[in-house]
Amino acid sequence: MSGLRLRSVRTKLFVGVLVTSLAAILITGASLLAYDLHNVRRALTDDLGTQAELIGRACTPALQFDDSKAADDNLALLKVRPNIDAAAVYNGKGAMFGHYVRDGAAPETYPMLGGGEDEVRFSGQDIFVNRRIIDDSHEIVGFIYMHAHYNVFDRARSYLGIVLAVGSMALLVALLLSLWLQLTVTRPILNITGLAQQVVERGDYSPRAEKITDDEIGYLVDAFNRMLSEIGGRTEALEASNRELGHEIAERKGAELALRHSEKRYRALVSTLSTVVWAANQRWEFEGEQASWEAYTGQSRNEYKGSGWRRAFHPEDQETLDRFTESASKGQQTYEVELRLWQAASASYRIVGLRPVAVYDGAGEFREWIGTVTDIDDRRRAEDEVRRLNVELEGRVRDRTAKLEEANSELESFSYSVSHDLRAPLRAIDGYSQALILDFGSQVNEKMRNYLDRIQAGTKRMGQLIEDLLSLSRISRHQLERRPVDLSAMAEQVLQELQQREPERKVQVSVWDGIMVDADPRLLKVALENLLGNAWKFTSKTPDARIEVGMVEEGVRHTIFVRDNGAGFDMAYADKLFGAFQRLHGVNEFPGTGVGLATVQRVMFRHGGRIWCQAKPDKGATFFFTLQEDNPAPVVASSSSAQHPLRLD
Amino acid sequence: MDDMMILVVEDNPDDEEMTLRSLSQAGLANDVEVVRDGAEALDFLFGTGKHAGRDTKRMPTVVLLDLKLPKLNGIDVLNRMRQDDRTRSTPVVILTSSSEDEDMIRSYNSGANSYVRKPIVFADFVGVVSQLGMYWLLLNQVPGKKPFGRSDA
């Protein structure tokens, strides 16, 4: 069977057709043969029976008359029947009466007869017939025996010939049939088989089987094709899903790698931290290895395990620690506690910050404590040092302030003295020189009078110096009070005062409109009086004198300027200009004490601003000043900054 | 004019001289009393100490008071004067070298009637003192005394 199983469909079909035909032929042949044999036997039996009947009837008289010769003659008639080999007649008593043997036949062994039934017996190709001889009065008068033969093999042989001929024809028909079957059934199946093999070998689902017939095989081809396309689709989907899965796996691997990397980094970080990292269970007991704790405190694992770690803290801090862990366990807000922890490396207690964090698992269940111990000893010391230094510094500042206050009060009493005491002698000098002239007018000659005049001029000048010095010191002591000030209006007022003092002067004055500044009005007034006073003074010898007050904007910085076209000065001496008692002109040329610009500069300094100048001899001077450091001190209130010339004459 | 009296409280002899000269030039030097420190000023006013027995019914028409004085300074004298009924309304002119705001404020707060700074130049000084004399002696009115300018009116 296994051999059959392996054979191709084509062979199977062929063998099937062949076997079916042959079997049909054989069965038919055998049936026919059996039927024929049966008929032959029956005919023979009937024939022999009739023959025996006939011989028996013919022999009846012979028997009745006991004429065995007649019986032999009757038997001899059987010669015409070549298939009868022998015959015998028995009398009623079973004794042989007459017999016959065909010529050429083998000597016959006669059976014993007497009584019994009629019978026909077959043995091989021989037939034996026993019959009773009955007369007209139905009495048994004797028995007859016949032995015939018939040729079964000849008959079978001829039948076989027929079967063989029919078998050969059937074989031929089977061959033709199988060829036709191969064309209509096997080829499409083979096609599908080849295709299937191809698909299996190449994994290519695109080819399709050719549909030749419209029967079940056609249906099979269709189904196969549908299956192929289905499998192709499924395979594609599977491959896509595979690719996706591959991606996912790669990603997961990447994530895993990153996680491992991050964990390594974390470990590395922890190992480099000077901070001690620890973990304790819910009852504040250390479990497992606490490497950084061990490294810091020098406690062995046996020493720190359980609650042993607590003993590494200073004995005096135990109570604080207990309170801290207790309140942390109760969920009270505890961030950090400062304690003294034994450090093995320095063999000393150092101040550390203990900071625990409660760890909850995914279900929100409290699991353990993890935390840090940070050495803040150096920081504490530094802070203490800073605090100490601060206290010291404060002390020093107090000291300095006291000294400064002392110096200030000295300065105040000095300026008070200057104001009070220095002026008195001057008044006396002036008064007495006047008294000399008044009381002894007649005795005072021209030269004496000249000297007395000079004494008076000197006292006057000294009085002015004292006044200016007092003004300077007042500016230093004055409490600065900033408020918005209309500088334009203030400048115009000062210029009007100057004009009123010297009504004969003709000066072309131009003050820009709406220059608003944030300044102390009293100090600003002093500064403007000095600056404009200077401009007024130094243009006194200039025909067509001009004074201008304006503002320059440079980004956020607003610079105010006071410009004149007066005597000016050499810029080489500009740095001396703002020192007290510095003068660039002779007193005879222009009067003055040289304190004015020092006063102006002090006003600017008090405001955090500064003052500088540009000048050329005989070409006038421009003084620039700011009232705030790097800040837009002036705010232009009016939208127009156009020059607004004001004539005061 | 007879009962007109000026009290000058001045420790500096030069200033005293200048003040007297100025008053004299202004024609007001008839009755000028000079004391040289704050304590003496109070003694004079209330008839005590050195000035015991002085007729205290005769009070100065005006007091020219310097601020910087030995013993008691000008402000102390002024405060004492304003605490006493006899001198509460006596005109006091602070005549000083100081131009400090603080001195001015304290003087006015203590009840000074006027604050005048001594000019350095003598001509100006004469002008200031004579104007003061004119005003306080002749124009200013106080209870019980008729001003000179109005006596005949």
User: Could you tell me if A101 and A131 lie in one domain?
Assistant: yes
**A-B contacts at Cβ under 8 angstroms:** 60
CA–CA distances in Å: residue B54 to residues B41, B43, B145: 13, 9, 20
Count how many residues are written for chain A. 649
Rounded to a whole number of angstroms, the distance from the CA of B94 to the nearest CA of chain A is 13
The per-residue pLDDT for B145 is: 60
Return the SS3 of A436.
Answer: helix
Do A462 and A557 lie in one domain? The reply is no
Q: Which tokens in the block code for residue A14? A: 């062929």
Cβ separation B123–A424 shorter than 8 A: no
Instruction: Give the pLDDT mean for A509-523.
Output: 90
- Residue A617 has phi, psi (to 5 degrees) of -55, 135
**Cross-strand bridge partners of residue A375:** A352
Per-residue confidence (pLDDT) for residue A635, from 0 to 100: 45
pLDDT in tens, B20-69: 888 888 888 778 999 998 999 999 999 998 888 888 888 899 999 998 88
Most B CBs within 10 A among A408, A412, A419, hence the mutation to make, goes to A419
Would A168 be classed as within a structural domain? no
Kindly state whether residues A630 and A505 are assigned to the same domain.
yes
Domain boundary among A271, A289, A322: A271
Question: A32 and A151, same structural domain?
Answer: yes
What is the pLDDT, as a whole number, of residue A402?
A: 87
Band the pLDDT of A5: cuts 50, 70, 90. Answer: low
The tokens describing A5, both together, are: 């199983």
Note whether A461 and A394 are same-domain residues. yes
| Angstrom distance (rounded) from CA A75 to CA A87 | 7
How many angstroms separate the CA atoms of A340 and A408, rounded? 50
Q: In this structure, what CATH number is given to the domain that contains residue A536?
A: 3.30.565.10
Model pLDDT, residue A112: 73
Is residue A54, in this structure, part of any structural domain at all?
Answer: yes
Q: Are residues A434 and B123, on separate chains, in Cβ contact within 8 Å?
A: yes
Chain B residues whose beta carbon lies within 8 Å of the beta carbon of residue A460: 120-121
C-alpha separations of A116 from A131, A132, A168, A301 in Å: 9, 8, 52, 125
**A425/B14 Cβ within 8 A:** yes
DSSP states along A340-403: EEEETTTTEEEEEEEEEEEEE-TTS-EEEEEEEEEE-HHHHHHHHHHHHHHHHHHHHHHHHHHH
What tens digit of pLDDT does each residue of B82-95 get?
999 989 989 999 99
CB contact under 8 A, A463 and B97: no
Evaluate if residue A301 carries a pLDDT over 50: yes
Q: What is the mean pLDDT of residues A533-553?
A: 90
> Which residues of B fall within a CB distance of 8 Å from A526?
none
Q: Which residue has the tokens 């990292």?
A: A277
Interval A464-477 mean pLDDT: 79
Give residue A512's pLDDT.
92
**Which tokens belong to A62?**
């012979």
- Bridge pairing between strands A348-360 and A557-564: unpaired
Q: How far apart are CA A408 and CA A413, in angstroms?
A: 8
The count of structural domains within chain A is 5
Is there a contact between A512 and A550 (Cβ–Cβ < 8 Å)? yes
Cα of B82 to nearest chain A Cα, Å: 25
Residue A305 within a domain: yes
Check B18 against A431: CB less than 8 A apart: yes
The answer to whether residues A15 and A116 belong to one domain is yes
Q: Verify whether the Cβ–Cβ distance A426 to B118 is below 8 Å.
A: no
Write out chain B in H/E/C secondary structure.
CCCCCEEEECCCHHHHHHHHHHHHHCCCCCCEEEECCHHHHHHHHHCCHHHCCCCCCCCCCEEEECCCCCCCCHHHHHHHHHHCCCCCCCCEEEEECCCCHHHHHHHHHCCCCEEEECCCCHHHHHHHHHHHHHHHHHHCCECCECCHHHCCC
Q: Which residue has the higher pLDDT, A17 or B11?
A: B11
CATH number of the domain that residue A29 is part of:
3.30.450
Give the minimum alpha-carbon distance from B3 to chain A in angstroms, rounded to a whole number: 29
Over residues A202-211, the mean pLDDT reads 78
Residue A453: predicted pLDDT: 87
Instruction: Check whether residue A62 and residue A147 sit in a common domain.
Output: yes
Confidence at A647, pLDDT banded by 50, 70, 90? very low
Nearest to A120 by CA among A43, A31, A36, A34: A43
- Residue A18 CA to chain centroid, in angstroms? 73
**Integer Cα distance of B145 and B137 in angstroms:** 10
**Per the domain annotation, does A71 fall within a domain?**
yes
With a cut of 60, say whether residue A644 has pLDDT above it: no
Give yes or no: residues A583 and A500 share one domain: yes
Query: Domain span at residue A267?
Result: 205-271
Nearest CA in chain B to A462: B120
Distance from CA of A385 to the nearest CA of B (A): 45
Note whether A431 contacts B68, CB cutoff 8 Å: no
Mean pLDDT of chain A: 82
- pLDDT tens, B103-148? 899 999 999 999 998 888 888 888 898 888 888 888 887 776 655 5
Q: Give the bridge partners for B114, in sequence order.
A: B93
Per residue in A218-243, pLDDT (tens digit) is: 888 888 888 888 888 888 899 899 99
CA distance A522 to A467: 17
The answer to whether residue A123 is domain-embedded is yes
Question: Is there a domain that residue A333 lies in?
Answer: yes
A460 backbone dihedrals φ, ψ, rounded to 5°:
-60, -45
Q: How would residue A632 be classed by pLDDT, with cut points 50, 70 and 90?
A: very low
Report the distance separating Cα A31 and Cα A51, nearest Å: 29
pLDDT one-digit tens code per residue, A390-427:
999 999 989 988 888 888 777 777 776 776 777 888 88
Question: Region A178-196: what's the mean pLDDT?
Answer: 77
Query: CA-to-CA distance for A278 and A372, rounded, in angstroms?
Result: 6
Q: Residues A512, A572: one domain?
A: yes
Higher pLDDT pick, A15 / A259: A259
Which pLDDT score is estimated for A599? 86
Average pLDDT (A527-542) is 91
> Does the beta carbon of B17 lie under 8 angstroms from any beta carbon of chain A?
yes
- A455 vs B contacts (CB less than 8 Å): none
pLDDT of residue A313: 93
Give residue A641's pLDDT: 38
Shortest CA gap B23–chain A (Å): 14
In a domain, A354, yes or no: yes
Taking CA atoms, what residue in A is nearest to B117?
A420
A641 vs A270, more confident: A270
- Nearest-Cα residue of chain A relative to residue B18: A431
Contacts of B12 in chain A (CB under 8 A): 424, 428
pLDDT score recorded for residue B3: 72
- When pLDDT is averaged across residues A151-162 and rounded to a whole number, the result is 79
In a domain, A463, yes or no: yes
B102 half-sphere exposure, CB direction, 13 A CA radius: 8
DSSP string, A592-643: --S-HHHHHHHHHHHTT--EEEEE-TTS-EEEEE-SSTTS---EE-SS----
Q: Which of residues 392-451 of A touch B (CB under 8 A)?
A: 416, 419-421, 423-428, 430-435
pLDDT exceeds 60 at position A305: yes
**Contact (Cβ atoms closer than 8 angstroms) between residue A398 and residue A435:** no
Nearest by CB to residue B122, choosing from A420, A425, A434, is A434
By the 8 A CB rule, do A610 and A541 touch? no
Query: What residues contact residue A57 under an 8 Å CB cut-off, 6+ apart?
Result: A133
Q: Which of residues 93-122 of B touch A (CB under 8 A)?
A: 96-100, 118-122
CB contact under 8 A, B121 and A460: yes
Looking at the structure, tell me whether residues A31 and A121 fall in a common domain: yes
pLDDT of residue A649: 36
Which of A216, A247, A271 corresponds to the end of one domain? A271
pTM equals 0.43
Chain A residues whose CB is inside 8 A of the B117 CB are none
Would you state the pLDDT for residue A1? 46
Which residues in chain B are contacts of A420 at CB distance < 8 A? 67-68, 96-98
pLDDT band at A639 (very low <50, low <70, confident <90, very high): very low
Give every CB contact of residue A543 below 8 A, 6+ residues apart in sequence.
Answer: none
The ipTM, to two decimals, is 0.73
| Among A419, A430, A435, beta carbon nearest to B121 | A430
Retrieve residue A326's tokens: 């207790």
- Which of A232, A252, A271 is the endpoint of a domain? A271
How far is Cα A134 from Cα A78, in angstroms, rounded to an integer? 20
Question: Which has more confidence, B140 or A519?
Answer: A519
How close A591 gets to chain B, by Cα (Å)?
18
- Do A30 and A94 belong together in one domain? yes
Residues A492 and A641 in one domain: yes
**What domains can be seen in chain B, in order of their start residue?**
6-148 (3.40.50.2300)
